[in-house]
A and B are shown apart, each in its own frame.
Chain A
């Protein structure tokens, strides 16, 4: 039984059109916002690119994380659709490269008074000078390059090892144990990048005076939920194309449970951060939430909780809804939108202030990244058989009951 995926012309067309929309939006944005030499336009141009880029990069890294987590726990349940997270993980380098280009342009290209990353040149700001051992250009470049490089390496390595397993003798466990130790190594890397330094460097340093130790956890939780939603969308899409014959409701149920549980975890981290600041009521901490909760972002602030918590907990709570293809796909889209909105609220309010927008530019850039995601992942998916025939846990995945 072979299960090869061929990119349907419709999907390819969608991917191309979306990428084209992204490129056109980028050019239009450059003309509209950069031409006038106004700070608001400049900020909007770079924030749109940065927020969408980071969103897609973090969503893609979650695919490597779930492979590593399932690998360390020796979980067989993921094997039936293992090629999907592998294909997404193998393309982390594309988004990593794009994000690095965007971030480095923002660090170096915005002149002496950086409107987004104030710490680039503190200009005598005592607080930022105190943080300058960590928050400086050298550290930023070092950490970013190291993080993106390691993620890209592990993403490609997990896939190549999984494909190499196909040509080993039946029931050979040598490569499997190698994958398990690689998964352990990735966890260390992941803990030191995605779960700590990277969100501090890239996102928290936008509001450079403010800090929260829980911040990276919160960003990780959001990235993980949207990553699960992305895997689910790809899995259901491939299933609808007649591929992934071994995937059934039990596997969909698993992904639904992940989306449900980690939406609650996301809320937990969100509220833990919010409540301590609300309770302490220290002005230097509350400015962060004051900017978001009162004023122009107020509606988005509450919408964020409704979309990312109330929706998933009520709709995904019952067993039948997690086993229904329509509800899980619908909720996956809602969650991807919700987490995008969450990242918007983490990044935009600091530099944009009252001049905020969600319109053609933000959506166009989102479409562009989505197009890149569709084109790259679908191309990677075609390169190998979608069933990992030789994986030692394949049978376990087939008889798996959720």
Chain B
């Protein structure tokens, strides 16, 4: 758990949001994250985020499923418990294909869901600080980390010059915690 200081600026439309994100990246402030009520096309490029590697994980999980299914079935049907099914050879590849396919899909799907949850730090019970209650409703929230080298007054001036509807400074947990939201309130009380 790392508690840090953040400055947020809220916008009510995509256009000022993109302007602000461009300016923040240009001015060198440390962009923590941007919260939007819906997926905004092009925002990840504007924020300079890397293309996800989730599909590589998916490929690896899929291959694992393929080899698990093929390997396990060939072992069972040829050496562990060979049974004569309608005179077919013990190693009958066509019969194994449907199950191989299903297992490939299942490994890839389950593995990718878990990887996705891990990468985004979301799970049932995992809580994160909410910077603004309207960030999932109708406001676009840009969050900037106030580091030791950041001049806070200058930062607020800068943010106010980007036409936000609201700005403020918050002390908050940077990552996630397990449990309830009021755990964080205790923190903030201690800090105050």
Interface residues of A (CB under 8 A from B): 271, 274-275, 278-279, 281, 317, 319, 401
Contact = CB atoms under 8 A, between A and B. Distances in A.
B94 A275 contact: yes
Contact of B94 (A274, A317, A319, A401): A274
Interface string B80-114: 00000011000000110110000000000000000
B26 interface: no
Contact of A401 (B41, B55, B59, B95): B41
Contacts of A319: 55
Contacts of B95: 275, 279
B55 A271 contact: no
Contacts of B97: 271, 275
A317 B98 contact: no
A279 B59 contact: no
A318 B113 CA distance: 20
Contacts of B41: 401
Given A274-B94, A275-B94, A278-B94, 13 more contacts: A271-B94, A271-B97, A275-B95, A275-B97, A275-B98, A279-B94, A279-B95, A281-B86, A281-B87, A317-B59, A319-B55, A401-B41, A401-B42
A341 B98 CA distance: 25
A222 to B, nearest CB: 19
Interface residues on B, range: 10 to 19
Contacts of B87: 281
Contacts of A279: 94-95
Contacts of A401: 41-42
16 contacts: A271-B94, A271-B97, A274-B94, A275-B94, A275-B95, A275-B97, A275-B98, A278-B94, A279-B94, A279-B95, A281-B86, A281-B87, A317-B59, A319-B55, A401-B41, A401-B42
Nearest to A401: B41
A279 B98 CA distance: 12
Interface in B44-95: 55, 59, 86-87, 94-95
A308 to B, nearest CB: 16
Interface in B6-55: 41-42, 55
Contacts of A317: 59
B150 to A, nearest CB: 34
Nearest to B56: A318
Nearest to B45: A401
A287 B42 CA distance: 56
A317 B41 CA distance: 24
Nearest to B51: A319
Nearest to B55: A319
Contacts of A271: 94, 97
A275 B95 CA distance: 7
B22 to A, nearest CB: 18
B149 to A, nearest CB: 36
Contacts of B86: 281
Contacts of A278: 94
B187 to A, nearest CB: 41
A271 B94 CA distance: 8
A279 B94 CA distance: 8
Contacts of B98: 275
**A279, A317, A319 interface centre (most CB from chain B within 10 Å):** A279
A281 B98 CA distance: 18
Nearest to A280: B86
Nearest to B59: A317
A273 B41 CA distance: 42
The 7 A-B pairs of least Cβ separation, nearest first, read: A275-B94, A278-B94, A271-B97, A401-B41, A281-B86, A275-B97, A274-B94
B138 to A, nearest CB: 24
Interface string B156-179: 000000000000000000000000
Nearest to A278: B94
Nearest to B95: A279
Nearest to A277: B94
A274 B94 CA distance: 9
A279 B55 CA distance: 35
Contacts of A274: 94
Nearest to A272: B98
B104 to A, nearest CB: 12
Contacts of B55: 319
A273 to B, nearest CB: 11
B18 to A, nearest CB: 14
A230 B97 CA distance: 31
A319 B59 CA distance: 12
A275 B42 CA distance: 45
